[in-house]
Amino acid sequence: MKWVCLAPYSPMTATVSTPAAPIELPRGAHELLEPARAYPGALVVVEGIDGSGKSTQLYLLKRWLEIGGYRLHFTEWNSSPLVKSATRRGKQRRLLTPTTFSLLHAADFADRCERQILPLLHGGYLVLADRYIYTAFARDVARGCSPRWLRNLYRFAPVPDITFYFRAPLDVAVNRIMSGRPKLKYYEAGMDLNLSLDRAESFRIFQGRILAQYDEMIESDRFVVMDGTLPVNKLQKQMRQIVKSRIDLSRFAPKKASRVSQ
Amino acid sequence: MARSARTYGLPLPGVTDEEFGGSLIVIEGMDGSGRSTQISLLTEWLESEGFAVQTMGLRRSGLVAKDIDALLAENTITRMTVTLMYATDFYDQLEHRIIPALRSDFVVLADRYFYTLIARAAARGIQRDYLNGLYEMALRPDLTFWLNVRPEAAFEREFRKSHAISYWESGRDMSLSNDLFQSFILYQAKMKKEFEALAEPHGFIAMDGEASVSRVNAELRRRIAAHLGIQRTHYKPSSALASLWR
């Protein structure tokens, strides 16, 4: 069955009667939404496994735009205070299954999406997101969730204008993390999957699975692949170039004082 | 991707169809339809017949029930977040309460199921196919009863019981009317329409919720007895529950 999109980026506007039968969603279904992007803002996303350098690069991009006075908003994965206590409790007591882990993060994202991301896009902001729905697709599929179910779950998310995928070899990324942050958390290391009793080894296997899932999405979700092993400043130069060529930044430039007010 | 006959399509990660028996019996209906009363009576009856019973309901998970209470008290909460938190609550109970009980051959009595969650979210404009997809890993109940009452009658029962009407059960987040009674009636009418849309595909057994408690109970027992193979369906509530028997 072909999935027909009724509302651009939102399952909330149309009510069409459908039977209870499951629907088939193609991979990268939300590509279909692209022509209908109906807001003056723009969304730039960075993705990649832990230690790929994505957060550093997004920070530098943000500084560059901030210093230039552009209208922007920065948002992070997993940061909504509303859902935080539930996530923390679930993790502490190890109550989370692949399904409830995924749903809690989706609820968290929905809160941020409806209260920050969408209003800001409609209000003409440049929104920068450190991790986005692809983090859920990669990580939750690595945990055993169905890709079809996940694609449906996040259907309400606006499609990014640019998705930078920072790709670093597994060993490089894992070593970066292990040298700076020796104590890995239970779910972070994928210990719930019984991959290995050794936390560091479990983390490595889990990150490898996530990396494979990211690679699967490169084409279907039009990732811009960035070589995470390049020097920071060189990579940043590339990133700024791509942003400039793909997004008309003048839309977000500081407004010049009008004559009337002078 | 493997399909599952016990669910609406997809299997739950880590759970296979094979291994569980038991029975899942759902009672749906708006507040004031007599759901909870019937669940109490059925539990006693089934236990007296030698069946082990587990119950579930909305907002009863160990994981997020308290958080949902807190979220609903905030007026900044949005419908997608509420929808997904309720989905979390539902799946947590499914995985940690219902499936373990079914594995141990229990009869699970559900005081509402995800049908109410779909109806609520759809009444607030979230697409039905999105919601169907969300609950694709839910178990198909063996029996689903729908206690049908007129909103006016439900309002009267609820008001008599608690002298107040819940903010959410009257749909006051939807700005239907400033008059509480009007809002309740309009909202429940919307909910009823959503339930009507669910009734056929999900095989609801519609029952007259305005009939007496004992009559509704007799009909429920008759149907459940047929399903579980119970011969004798005579039942009289114990003194602890006698006050419910009207």
Rounded-to-integer distance, Cα B171 and Cα B226, Å:
38
pLDDT in tens, A53-103: 999 999 999 999 999 999 999 999 876 777 788 888 888 889 999 999 999
Confidence of residue B100 (pLDDT cuts 50, 70, 90): very high
What DSSP string runs through A164-182? EEEE--HHHHHHHHHHH--
How many CB contacts within 8 angstroms connect chain A with chain B? Answer: 136
Kindly state the average pLDDT of the residues B150-155: 90
Confidence of residue A15 (pLDDT cuts 50, 70, 90): very low
pLDDT in tens, B44-72: 999 999 999 999 999 999 899 988 888 88
Our measurement of the distance from residue B226's CA atom to the centroid of its chain's CA atoms, rounded to an integer in Å, reads 21
Chain A residues touching B14 at Cβ < 8 A: 97-98, 144
pLDDT of residue A259: 56
CATH code of the domain in which B134 resides: 3.40.50.300
Sheet holding A162-167, edge to edge: A72-76, A126-130, A42-47, A162-167, A223-227
**Residue B129 maps to a domain:** yes
Rounded-to-integer distance, Cα A244 and Cα A241, Å:
5
Nearest chain B residue (CA) to A98? B13
Nearest chain B residue (CA) to A4? B129
> With pLDDT > 70 as the criterion, what percentage of chain A qualifies?
82
Nearest CA of chain A to the CA of B8: how many Å?
Answer: 7
Q: Is the pLDDT of residue B174 over 50?
A: yes
**Residue B76 maps to a domain:** yes
Query: Is residue A168 a contact partner of residue A53, using CB atoms and an 8 Å limit?
Result: yes
Q: Is the pLDDT of residue A253 over 90?
A: yes
CA diameter of chain B: 53
Which of A17, A103, A148 has the most B C-beta neighbours within 10 Å, making it the best mutation to test the interface with B?
A103
Which of A12, A16, A113 has the most B C-beta neighbours within 10 Å, making it the best mutation to test the interface with B?
A12
Nearest chain B residue (CA) to A14? B127
Rounded-to-integer distance, Cα A83 and Cα A108, Å:
6
pLDDT in tens, A22-35: 444 433 334 333 33
Kindly state the average pLDDT of the residues A112-124: 93
Chain A residues touching B132 at Cβ < 8 A: 18, 20-23
Of B62, B122, B134, the CB nearest to A152: B134
Of B12, B80, B197, the CB nearest to A114: B80
pLDDT of residue A181: 66
- Classify domain A42-245 at the CATH class level: alpha beta
Of B13, B96, B129, the CB nearest to A23: B129
Q: Is the pLDDT of residue B157 over 90?
A: no
Collect contacts of A203-210 with beta carbons under 8 A, ≥24 apart: A203/A174, A203/A177, A204/A170, A204/A174, A206/A142, A207/A49, A207/A50, A207/A170, A207/A173, A207/A174, A208/A170, A209/A142, A210/A49, A210/A138, A210/A139, A210/A142
| Type of residue found at A56 | T
Q: Is the pLDDT of residue B155 over 60?
A: yes
Q: Is the pLDDT of residue A156 over 50?
A: yes
pLDDT of residue B46: 97
Asked whether the beta carbons of residue B10 and residue A146 sit closer than 8 angstroms, the reply is yes
Q: Is the pLDDT of residue A201 over 70?
A: yes
Q: Which domain holds residue B110?
A: 23-148+204-228
Q: What does DSSP assign to residue A247?
A: S
pLDDT of residue A260: 53
Of B14, B64, B84, the CB nearest to A98: B14
What part of A 87-116 touches B (C-beta under 8 Å)?
89-90, 95-100, 103-104, 106-107, 110-111, 113-115
CA atoms within 13 A on the CB side of A122: 8
pLDDT of residue A32: 37
Chain A residues touching B122 at Cβ < 8 A: 15
Asked whether the beta carbons of residue A20 and residue B92 sit closer than 8 angstroms, the reply is no
Q: Is the pLDDT of residue A2 over 80?
A: no
**Residues B149, B152, B158, B162, Cα dihedral to 10°:** 180
Query: Is residue A214 a contact partner of residue A138, using CB atoms and an 8 Å limit?
Result: yes
What residues contact A51, with CB distance under 8 A and at least 6 apart? A168, A172, A173, A174, A175, A176, A177
CA angle B57, A141, A57 (to 5 degrees): 115
Asked whether the beta carbons of residue B8 and residue A146 sit closer than 8 angstroms, the reply is no
Nearest CA of chain B to the CA of A233: how many Å?
Answer: 39
Chain mean pLDDT for chain B: 91
Kindly state the average pLDDT of the residues A158-174: 94
Q: What does DSSP assign to residue A34?
A: G
ipTM attached to this prediction:
0.91
pLDDT of residue B208: 96
Residue B124: how many other CB atoms lie within 10 Å: 18
Asked whether the beta carbons of residue A90 and residue B63 sit closer than 8 angstroms, the reply is yes
**Residue B218 maps to a domain:** yes
Q: Is the pLDDT of residue A183 over 90?
A: no
Of A22, A97, A114, the CB nearest to B95: A97
Nearest chain B residue (CA) to A109? B81
Chain B residues touching A147 at Cβ < 8 A: 1
**Residue B222 maps to a domain:** yes
Kindly state the average pLDDT of the residues B159-188: 86
Asked whether the beta carbons of residue A17 and residue B128 sit closer than 8 angstroms, the reply is yes
Query: Is residue B35 a contact partner of residue B147, using CB atoms and an 8 Å limit?
Result: yes
**Residue B156 maps to a domain:** no
Nearest CA of chain A to the CA of B82: how many Å?
Answer: 8
Interface check for A79 against chain B (CB to CB < 8 A): the answer is no
Chain B residues touching A146 at Cβ < 8 A: 1, 10, 13, 137
Nearest CA of chain B to the CA of A116: how many Å?
Answer: 12
The predicted model scores a pTM of 0.88
What residues contact B72, with CB distance under 8 A and at least 6 apart? B82, B167, B168
Highest mean pLDDT among A2-16, A27-41, B190-204: B190-204
pLDDT in tens, A95-115: 999 999 999 999 999 999 999
Of the two residues A180 and B33, the one the predictor is more confident about is B33
Query: Is residue B32 a contact partner of residue B155, using CB atoms and an 8 Å limit?
Result: yes
Q: Structurally, how many domains does chain B consist of?
A: 1
Q: Is the pLDDT of residue B74 over 80?
A: no
pLDDT of residue A258: 53
